Chain A
Amino acid sequence: MSKPQIELETRGLEAYFGDHRALHGISLQAEKFKLLALIGPSGCGKSTFIRCLNRLHEETPGAWAQGEVLLEGEPIYGKGVDPVSIRRKIGMVFQRPNPFPMMSIYENVASGLLLAGVKSRKELDPLVERSLKQAALWDEVKDQLKKPGTRLSGGQQQRLCIARALAVSPPVLLMDEPTSALDPISTARIEELLVELKKSVTVIMVTHNMQQAARISDQTAFFLMGEMVESGATEQIFTNPKDARTEQYITGRFG
């Protein structure tokens, strides 16, 4: 039996807002081409955690982090590491869809590439098409690529944001409650595309929706008050968790 390949790993990651410690020594591994779900009550640090993975956390004034985060074995914190280049490899999709308002659908998807200097249509067209297909949006918008990105419905906008993040071909995709602002049908669509997507991209997803985590994730980690209480195979976490706190949370007995 082959050893699982670790795409992204944290060791003793701590995050601070000024003097306040929001994350206490998190050590967690995300396996390659698997979906890791992060669950836990509000304010437990899951969003802070993933924002440390693409070094977005430190963009907040007064916020900082320490500890190790390794992408394919290479540290992403440390002297001389450029956060901008890290973010090209670790993409992010946010809770509320945020397409760029002054750009068309095509421009939105291509924005990461355009602003990196790629200008030729010959290079951009296939990448835009591939990303929109991966985001299960191509069929709906292929004839309206010039339409402004904001004229789409909420669910479509979120898929547009997914396509935008995928266009730069990151090996890892972070998602912060990507469906919590959407209706059930849009949610189901996005869950389906994630099940397909995780075959080629490692996904780490924060979710409030336990059933969602149970449905589509391979691994699940439970966070509570800045700590990671337990992590393991999703099936094991949801049928027989080891820690009593995990059990209480997922059966809804607190929070």
Chain B
Amino acid sequence: MSRFRNPYRKWKSRVLLSLLGLGALAAVFPLVMILLHLVREGWSALNLAFFTETQKPVGELGGGMAHSILGTLGLVGLASGIGIPLGLASGVYLSEYGGTGQRSGERLAGWVRFALELFSSTPSILIGVFVYGLVVVPMKHFSLLAGALALALILIPLVARTSEELLRLVPGSLREAGLALGIPRWKVILHIVLGSARPAVLASLVLAVARIAGETAPLVFTSFGSPSFVKGITEPTSALPLQIYTYAISPFEEWHRMAWAGALLLVALVLILNAVMRVLSHGLGGGAHE
């Protein structure tokens, strides 16, 4: 019986598992520290005024980030409205009709993929510059529209890529089963393919939206920022990241606190969106079993 004993192995296993645990903690630790720091610095400035007032002229006390919150909501909303349908459509097209992009009928898919990859690897500030030249210059001023467009250009490749991958994960046998029932191809794609990938696709959309909510650089040359509520879709607008920057580089102590508060709000927003994503992917059945 004694040849089955190996105390050395058990000990080695314990040591390595502990090291792994420590590594995980080490990764999480800075995030926790950042969060704690944000709360410590910004919590005091999260008052009613913060949520209702806009930037006061230099020298005056008080103010808030109401206009930035609204601006971010508007920018993200419009960008999603443009970007999600286009991104999903590209993702569906590439997954259902794109194949590997090598056969003759798939040339268009090859180009689409190339364009999407190009955009996704472009630095976001250059996307902003691109939209500046395309929209801001002809319009002769900065606008929410331009900002939303820039964000949409970041959103589309993101959504397209993840939705394509998620749709490809749907087994071909489900498509065949749908077709074999005499269901037209577009309905198979819409109801069966998208249907079975729905939880995962929704979750990925939420993640993508969270991602663009925090983008700053592309907004610099497009929506530009503003001290007050946006007056129309063709007017410049503030956004949380922009406003954080404005308040942070100012010499005013009070504005610094509001910058922290803004950062905290942004992080909270991302955290909430992540939580929503988790609920969505678990609550809706989470895909196929066995």
Contacts and interface: CB of A to CB of B under 8 A. Distances in A.
A and B in direct contact, judged by CB atoms within 8 A: yes
Interface of A: 54, 56, 59, 61-62, 84-89, 91-92, 94, 96, 98, 100-103, 111-112, 115-116, 148, 150-151, 161, 164-165, 168
Given A62-B103, A96-B173, A102 B180 contact: no
B285 interface: yes
A100 B174 contact: yes
Contact of B176 (A56, A84, A103): A56
Contacts of B191: 115
Given A62-B103, A101-B196, A102-B196, A87 B176 contact: no
Contacts of B174: 98, 100-101
Interface of B: 99, 103, 105, 171, 173-174, 176-184, 187, 191-192, 195-196, 198, 284-285, 287-290
24 contacts: A85-B182, A87-B179, A88-B182, A92-B180, A94-B173, A98-B171, A98-B174, A98-B176, A100-B174, A100-B177, A100-B195, A101-B285, A101-B287, A101-B288, A112-B181, A112-B183, A115-B183, A115-B191, A116-B182, A150-B288, A151-B289, A164-B177, A165-B180, A165-B181
Given A61-B105, A115-B187, A150-B290, A98 B177 contact: yes
A88 B184 CA distance: 10
Nearest to B191: A115
Nearest to A92: B180
Contacts of B99: 61
Contacts of B198: 102
B105 A87 contact: no
Contacts of A161: 177
A102 B179 contact: no
B103 A112 contact: no
A87 B180 contact: yes
In this complex, the member of A54, A84, A150, A164 whose beta carbon has the largest number of chain B beta carbons within 10 angstroms is: A84
Contact of B181 (A62, A87, A101, A151): A87
B173 A84 contact: no
A135 to B, nearest CB: 15
Contacts of A116: 182-183
What are the 4 tightest A-B residue pairs by CB atom distance, in nearest-first order?
A88-B182, A101-B288, A87-B182, A92-B180
Most buried by A among B105, B285, B290: B290
A60 to B, nearest CB: 10
Contacts of B285: 101-102, 148
A161 B171 CA distance: 16
A94 B173 CA distance: 8
A84 B288 contact: no
A103 B198 CA distance: 12
Most B Cβ at <10 Å: residue of A56, A61, A151: A61
Contacts of A92: 176, 180
A91 B128 CA distance: 53
Given A100-B196, A101-B285, A56 B179 contact: yes
A150 B289 contact: yes
Contact of A164 (B171, B173, B181, B290): B181
B184 A54 contact: no
Nearest to B103: A61
A164 B290 CA distance: 20
A94 to B, nearest CB: 6
Contacts of A112: 181-183
Greatest chain B CB density within 10 A among A86, A94, A102, A165 is at A102
A65 B183 CA distance: 21
Contacts of B178: 100, 111, 115
B96 to A, nearest CB: 11
Contacts of B284: 102
B100 to A, nearest CB: 10
Contacts of B180: 54, 56, 87, 91-92, 94, 165
Contacts of A100: 174, 177-178, 192, 195-196
B199 to A, nearest CB: 8
Contacts of B187: 115
